[in-house]
Amino acid sequence: MADLVETVRIYMRDNTKQNTLLNDLEYTEDEIKLAIDLVLSEFNSYPPTTTLTKDTIPLYIILPGIASKLLTSVSVSKLRNQLNYNDGGDHVMIDDTGPQYKQLADAFFDEYKKYMINYKSALNIDLCWGGA
C-alpha cells in the first residue's frame, strides 16, 4: 500500500515544498490508508459487487474517490476549528477554508462516482451478455 500512498500524495500535491503555509504534509499515512480502504469498500459494495484491491482497481477511478474522502475529512476539521474574531473593526478569520475544501471534495466525489458507475455498468453488461 506504500506505493499507493505515495501516488495519492503526488496526485494531491501533498508535500512540504508545496504546502508552504503548513510547512508539513497535510495528510498522515494512516489517514490516506483509511481513505483508500473506505473507497475500496464503497466501490466493491456498489452493485454489481466486486473484489477489486488497491492493486487491481484502475487508478483513474480510485484517486478521485480517495481525494474526496481526504478533503471531506479536512473540511470537517476546519469547520470545527473555524474562528471569526472582530475587535474594533478589525476582522480576523482563522481556519475559514472548510467550505472550499468541501466544495473540492464534492467535485472529486462527482468525478469518482461517474467513473464508478460507468465501470460498474460495463461490468454488469459483461456479466449479463458476455460483453458489449
Per-residue pLDDT reduced to its tens digit, 55-106:
999 999 999 999 999 999 988 887 777 677 777 777 777 767 888 989 999 9
pLDDT digits (tens, 9 = 90+) for 5-32: 999 999 999 988 888 777 888 899 999 9
- Kindly state the helix (H) or strand (E) to which residue 83 belongs, with its residue range: strand 83-87
Q: Which three cell numbers stand for residue 102?
A: 468541501
Cα distances (Å, whole numbers) of residue 74 to 60, 100, 102: 22, 10, 8
In this model, does residue 132 exceed pLDDT 60? no
pLDDT digits (tens, 9 = 90+) for 30-55: 999 999 999 999 999 999 999 999 99
Distance CA 8, CA 117 (A): 22
Q: Which three cell numbers stand for residue 19?
A: 504546502
Give the domain extent around 79.
2-129
Q: Looking at the DSSP assignment, which residues form a beta bridge with residue 5?
A: none
Number of domains in the chain: 1
Cα distances (Å, whole numbers) of residue 30 to 12, 27, 40, 99: 15, 8, 15, 24
Q: What's residue 103's pLDDT?
A: 95
